[in-house]
Each structure stands twice: as C-alpha cells, then as structure tokens.
Structure 1
C-alpha cells in the first residue's frame, strides 16, 4: 500500500496539468489568423495524455512488431494523408503514403528542416571541428560531413567493395549459416556489422568486430525507446553503450592516423581513411573526436537500417516461395 500516496500525487499532477493546458489559448500568428483559424490549420488528430501524449501506445505497438497499426488506425480515423499526434513530449505530424514521402524527400532545406529530439544528444553527443569547444547542432555537422562523402561514394570507389562484400558473405555461409536452422536477426546483424566495420573503419579482425556487437545492439535498442535515463532501461544502457563504442572507435581512429603517417594504409581505403585525409572549407583537417563521433553515427545508422531491410527481405522470400524461385532463376541467368 506504500505506493498509493505516490500514485495519488501523480494523478493529481496530471489533473492539474490538464486544467492548465485547457486554460491556455493559442496565440495569433503573424499572418493575422485568429486562434480558431490556427487550430483549423493543424492536421486532424489528437495529442493524447498531457506530457505523455500517445507515446505509450506507439512504443507498445513498436515492441510487438505492429507499429504499422499505429499509423493505419489513425489514417482511417483522421486522414489517409496526414494526422497529428504527440510522441515523447513533442507535437508530431505524421505524413502518410507516397505523397507524404515525396513531400518530405523533395523539400529538404525548403519546407522541411532536419531536426532531432534533444535526448538524442545523450546517445549522439555534439562535437565541433574547432578548438573553441563550442558544439554546433548535429544537423549542421551532418551537412558538413555530407559535403565530403560524395568522393568516397563514387561508383568507381564502391566497385572495389563488391569483392569484399562477396567474400564476407561466402565466409558467413560457410561458417555461421551452414546448418539446418539459424536465428535470422542475429545472423543478419553479424553480417551487417562486419560489412559496416570494414567500410567505415577498415576493421577486418573478427575479434574487434565482436567487441562492437553488444554495444551497437544496445545503442540500436535505445534509439527507439522511451527516453528515461534510469538504470535498467534501454535508454540508460544505450547511453553507456554509446560511450563504450566511441572509446573503441577513437582508438581505431588514432591507430589509423599512425598508419597513414607511416604509409601503412590499407589497399582498400575506408571512409575513416578518407575523413583523415580530407579538410573542411577552411582547410582544416577533421579532428580526432569529430571523426570518431561521425563515424560512430554512420556505423550505427548503417547497421540498424540495413539489418532491418535484409531481415524483411529474407522473411518475405521465405513466405513467398514463388518470388524466391524467380530470384533463383534470375541469379542463374545472370551467372
């Protein structure tokens, strides 16, 4: 019964917040819209509970692997094109279908601005490429990195990695997948991590790759979790795993700098090698911490998205044998 006073206090707090929010009136916009007109300009939908919004429903469906139902239910109830909600304390508009995707991807830097919730800074800390110690927003840092990625992503450079990808896959098939049954997600995760470590960091040693396997899994879970920084939560473990990963990557960056100085770089340069040799618009080389954080970010980003895509491809191929047969025919005709 000791929890009842605390529960009563929390319910009272929620009630007070609800009353407070109801009393707040929207302020007129610069375009001389009245409060009622501003409300009508918002997409249809609801923001759910005060502070919490619809976060609990969102993460419940995410954890059960049916996140699509969160969107489908609201598309049916409010609008098939766009609806509003509230997630993790932020008012959110979700654009749906091909038109919504087209709008987002065709209007970056125009009508759409890249933005990340503030709690992401705990997993992906801001680090500037200057000696001032003043960190610029992660979105600005990403723009800076993007300017220097095209060179390493040119077709003639990517061709050199096809053989490496084929070799890694054949090794996986012989050693890890040569059995009647495999657990698909761990198998795909291991394959993706090996490729990502080779492409981004130039790491080929399986032991070094394995050292990153547990922390990158914790980071990946924490990205899509409720941001409660308390021991035992996915978010808390994600922050700790982020520090572990960045420390290990920084050691790799430091060793790569030594190898470049002593002319011992790899025959197949990695993204890390390219960043160590590239200067920004002021002619200044990227510093060690800046490179560490951004290689870490790209490693995590590439790991999660590619793992999910490959897992779903294999899942659907197993469920659709006629498609699987056509893929095999296509492979045979190609060979």
Structure 2
C-alpha cells in the first residue's frame, strides 16, 4: 500500500498528470494482484475494483453499502449543499428538479436554443479565422450554453475565467496560504457565490410577482426554494456543480470526437454524409429539431466510441458505510472504493480489440455497467442528454460550414484534474464554398 499515510498517492497523481492512470497505475497492479487490489490514496486505505460486475455492485448500491466520497477541497469548492454531497431522499429531490429540464419536453425546448447558440458562437469566434483552439472554443460555447440556454443567466465578461480558477483547486490540497491553488480557487468561489446569490434572489422576486421565465432550470430550482423543498444554498451550490459537470467534460468529449474523425477519414466521410442528408431536407436557415437528433445516429456512435477511448471522467470514489463482503474480500467500514471507466472500456472481455477506434461497436446496445462515460447507478450524470445534444449540434454546424484539420495530430492528453488536450487542440479552418 506504499509509504505510511500517503501510500501510493504520488504514483497515482504522476500517472494522472500524464493521462496514464489506467496504464501506469491500475493495470500493472491488476496484473500483479488481480482485478481487485488495495492501496492507500490521499491518506485513505482504498480498494480499486475493475469490471462490469464490480461497477454494477458498487454503483447500484449507492446509499446502501457505499456513499459518494470526495476530497475536502472538492466539497468546499463545489459546495456542501450540492447534489454530490446529498444522500437518499435529498439527492432524489434535487436530481428530480435537475432532470425536469433535461428530459423529454425540456430537451425539445433546449434544441433550438442550443442551435442558435452554436451558430452565434461560430459567427463570433470562427468567422474570419484561419486557425483556432478547438478545445478553448468549445469550453466557451458549452459554458455559454449551460448558463444562457439551460439556466437562463446571461454570461458576463470574465465569468468563465473565474469558474476555471475554481476548477484548478478542486483536487488541490485544502491548505489555505496566499498564492496556493486552493486559496485562489476559494477566492474565486466566493466571487461566484456572491454573483449567484444576487441572481437567485432577483429570480425569486420576479417569480413571486408572476414574471417566471418558464422552462429555465434556474426557475425550476427557485420554484423548489419557494415551495420550501430546497434552500438558497442548495440552489447556488448545485448551479456551481452543474456548470463544472456540464461544460468541461463535454468540451473534452467534443475535442476527442474531432481528433478521432481527423485520424479516421472513412468515418468522417460517413458522418459528413449523415449531416448533409439532414441539411438537404431543410429550408435555408431552418434549425435542427429533437426529431433530427433521433435520426443522427452515426455521429452519436462516433462520439460514444471517442468517449470509450477517452472517457471524460476516469472513475470516482465511494466510501463504505459498513463492512462489505465482495468476491471473497472484506472491505472495512470507512475504506474508500475506486471504480474506473477504463476497467471495462479497455478490456477485451467487453470490447474486441479495445484500443482500436470502431464506431460500429455501438450499433447494438452495450450490456449494463460496461460503458460508463457518465457514471452509473443513482448518481448517473443527470446532464448526459444535454451533453449528447451539445456534441451532435456542434458537430452538425461545424462539418456543414467548415473544412478543418488538426495542426498537431500527435498532441498529448493530460489531466489536471480532468483530461484535456495539452495544447488546446489547434485546428486550421476554412469556410466551405
């Protein structure tokens, strides 16, 4: 289990920084000890589990045998009242409000808003350029979509930079001293909270006087606050968490989708034809609809395969709330459990030739708990359908408007704390004639 107290934390974060957590940390220990092994990370004894059955057991037993576990820095910066800290009925209540705008009728209303946001973004940030950072561009876009299309909050200058300062401290040691990552992040979090409290209170006043902005998620959250179902702190903390969960991971998924398309021109040809067919059945200027989303199947297969090879999240920690008997092992109460997406995504037991890129894998359904880019169980990401819309709509408008190519095809991926292309994925672009 490594050195006293810190265990193998140094090796863990070194592998993470190089985006080789599975290859350099997990896989060598699986080879040596088996698919269940123990270690010590961040001062806590930890059991690392791999495989679909382990994923099913631990993710489906959330609130029963295990609870979500995050570092102190993450809790302080995301908020103690956010859904990631809630258990049982409190978790279900908040998740229900979030899901109300991210399923069925809520998605139908979101599609035209996202289409307009993507087109405005391309007109503003891509028009007249011959090269740009794809990753940075998508971060700006997805941040704007979460705030303006989903929440109904106008994005002001500097907001994205403030949120990014918070993210930099999410997995940093929770030590306050001037200039530290955590101190900078904490200060940025206070700025965000001040802004959000003002917006939430203004929204409450509007709604109490009958001026509700129907359908927006912020309105749904504030309505829950007015009913007494949730508190003001729960509203602000969950807005912060939603922004981080919805924009950073989606930006990476989009970037990896384009990386794979650049490396596999045959797949790009099929994808492009899919979007040309959709465009040819529309009048000039007519935007996409939710029905179109259901027809754009191959693009989603490409995106899913990209997320299999490059999952937006590595996995997550759980904490045993009682002694757990699993596969002949006893996991003591209080120990941490880490499941990993790569434990199934890169396993030939579940995906033939797992290191190759093949979107056809997703022509048929995948067994439960094998493919987990959005987590699973009760804590399955509530915004996964929003991510799907963002990816498909962005791809549609880019490939039908622009020719593009990677400037650095061999650009590496790093993690800090989430994965991202180390140089921002610069691309050359030119308008289609």
The question of a shared fold, defined as TM-score above 0.5 by the shorter chain, is answered with: yes
| Gap change, CA 1:226 and 1:119, over 3 Å in 2 | closer
Higher relative contact order (CA 8 A, sep 6+): 2
User: 1:67 aligns to what?
Assistant: 21
User: 2:385 aligns to what?
Assistant: none
Which of 269, 277, 283 is the matching residue for 2:215?
269
Q: 2: CA distance between counterparts of 1:142 and 1:172?
A: 35
Higher normalized strand content (fraction of residues)? 2
Deviation string 1:6-56 (CA, Å, 9 cap, x unpaired) is xxxxxxxxxxxxxxxxxxxxxxxxxxxxxxxxxxxxxxxxx2111222222
Which of 77, 91, 100 is the matching residue for 2:32?
77
Q: 2: CA distance between counterparts of 1:227 and 1:320?
A: 43
Q: What is the CA-CA distance between 1:156 and the residue it aligns to?
A: 1.2
Unaligned runs of 5+ in 2: 280-433
Return the TM-score normalized by structure 1: 0.73
* Aligned residues of 1:202 and 1:269 also touching (Cα < 8 A): no
Q: What is the CA-CA distance between 1:246 and the residue it aligns to?
A: 1.4
Higher normalized helix content (fraction of residues)? 1
Deviation string 1:240-296 (CA, Å, 9 cap, x unpaired) is 222121111111112212222333333x5321100111269xx52533233112222
Larger mean Cα displacement after TM superposition, 104-113 or 245-254: 104-113
User: 2:230 aligns to what?
Assistant: 286
- 1:147-296 to 2 correspondences below 5 Å: 147-178=96-127, 179-203=129-153, 205-206=154-155, 208=156, 210-266=157-213, 269-278=215-224, 284-296=228-240
- CA RMSD of superposed structures (Å): 2.6
Q: 2: CA distance between counterparts of 1:112 and 1:252?
A: 35
Q: What is the CA-CA distance between 1:182 and the residue it aligns to?
A: 1.3
Q: 2: CA distance between counterparts of 1:119 and 1:213?
A: 20
Unaligned runs of 5+ in 1: 1-46, 129-135
| Gap change, CA 1:107 and 1:159, over 3 Å in 2 | same
* Aligned residues of 1:220 and 1:304 also touching (Cα < 8 A): no
Q: What is the CA-CA distance between 1:191 and the residue it aligns to?
A: 0.9
Q: Secondary structure at the match of 1:160?
A: helix
Q: What is the CA-CA distance between 1:200 and the residue it aligns to?
A: 4.5
Which of 47, 54, 59 is the matching residue for 1:93?
47
* Aligned residues of 2:73 and 2:169 also touching (Cα < 8 A): no
* Aligned residues of 1:168 and 1:195 also touching (Cα < 8 A): yes
Q: What is the CA-CA distance between 1:177 and the residue it aligns to?
A: 2.4
Larger radius of gyration: 1
* Aligned residues of 2:29 and 2:37 also touching (Cα < 8 A): yes
Deviation string 1:102-160 (CA, Å, 9 cap, x unpaired) is 333333334432233344332133349xxxxxxx9922353431243343333012110
Q: What is the CA-CA distance between 1:213 and the residue it aligns to?
A: 0.5
Aligned residues: 275
User: 2:264 aligns to what?
Assistant: 320
| Gap change, CA 1:166 and 1:156, over 3 Å in 2 | same
* Aligned residues of 1:190 and 1:213 also touching (Cα < 8 A): yes
